Amino acid sequence: MMKKFLVVCVFLMISLAGFSQDAWKGFWGPVNKGLNPGEKLSLGTSTWLFRPTAAISAVSLNYNKDLKQIETAAFSKAGVGISYTHFKTLPDGTLYDNFAINGLVLLTTSTGEKVPVNLAVTVSALQFVNMGVGYDFGVKTVFGLIGIVYKFN
């Protein structure tokens, strides 16, 4: 089941990359320095761009089936990923990101016998606030995630 899910995700990412070449423009450089003023004006008042992202979970919410309650863990996950970020153009011509959808690969900070790799999909707003859900492959559970994200703009 998980292999099918991963294969579908890979095909979705490949097709998304193929249909949205303009959204990848300037991926490795700063948005406001990587695009000249004419390119910024051609983007209009708002645009979506892919950006590299780093995230740290402030609080991870895990449901404990045995105790039938939600457990919290502070600063238990950190990782990197790709964000699909919405930028709006300010009156001075600079681009400002106001919200984004992030795909993250997170590693747990605790060392254990289980595989500490997690996949998460989050939504970020107000530049740094990050909320979403993820899947922990080590304990095979879904978790909630609240934290901070830094998009390399």
Q: Give the pTM.
A: 0.70
| Listed residue (48, 147, 140, 129) closest to 89, CA to CA | 48
Q: Measuring CA to CA, which residue among 41, 42, 50, 51 is closest to residue 19?
A: 50
The Cα 130–Cα 102 span in angstroms is 9
Instruction: Report the alpha-carbon distance of residue 41 to residue 35 in Å, rounded.
Output: 10
Higher pLDDT, 152 or 36: 152
Neighbours of 137 (CB within 10 A): 14
The pLDDT of residue 21: 46
> Each residue of 79-128: pLDDT tens digit?
899 988 888 877 777 778 888 999 999 888 776 656 578 899 999 887 78
**Count of other CB atoms within 10 angstroms of residue 144:** 17
